[in-house]
Amino acid sequence: MKGFKDKKCKACKNDLPLFMFKENKDVNPDKICNKCLRTANRRKYRYSKDVASRQILAIALKAGHLIKQPCEECGQVEGVDGHHPDYDKPLDVIWLCRLHHAREHVRLRKLLAESDV
Ligand SMILES: [Zn+2]
Ligand SMILES: [Zn+2]
Ligand SMILES: [Zn+2]
């Protein structure tokens, strides 16, 4: 007879022993295992940097420190968005239209998936 119930991780769907879960509800409201939690936190960190650099970029645009350029891939002017190759340099952007911006992110995600061991 088992003394402890295993718990199912909501993220990876594995039945794991309780010690694989952080019991603090504030840290782990979704009941996901430590491993998935770590991955999620890493993503969140990336995401918050993304948001911060976007805000800085928006302010710089408004102030006229930066001017929107046509898409570097196709030259389109409509719906161009600043893409950050490096979130630590919020004003260092590549201008891309919606299509090419999405494509660039797909490419980066693939690259990241390959390097994320
Ligand atoms: Zn998990
Ligand atoms: Zn384009
Ligand atoms: Zn981007």
Q: Is the pTM of this model over 0.85?
A: no
Predicted confidence pLDDT, tens digits, the chain (117 residues): 455 578 889 889 999 988 888 765 565 556 889 898 888 888 888 778 888 999 999 999 999 999 999 999 999 999 999 999 988 899 999 999 999 999 999 998 898 888 765
From the CA of 39, which ligand is nearest?
1
Alpha-carbon distance 100 to 25, whole Å?
40
From the CA of 102, which ligand is nearest?
3
Contact (Cβ atoms closer than 8 angstroms) between residue 56 and residue 82: no
Tokens in use for 24? Answer: 């603090």
From the CA of 90, which ligand is nearest?
3
Residue 38 CA, ligand 1 centroid: distance in Å = 9
Amino acid at residue number 1: M
Give residue limits of the domains in the chain.
7-115
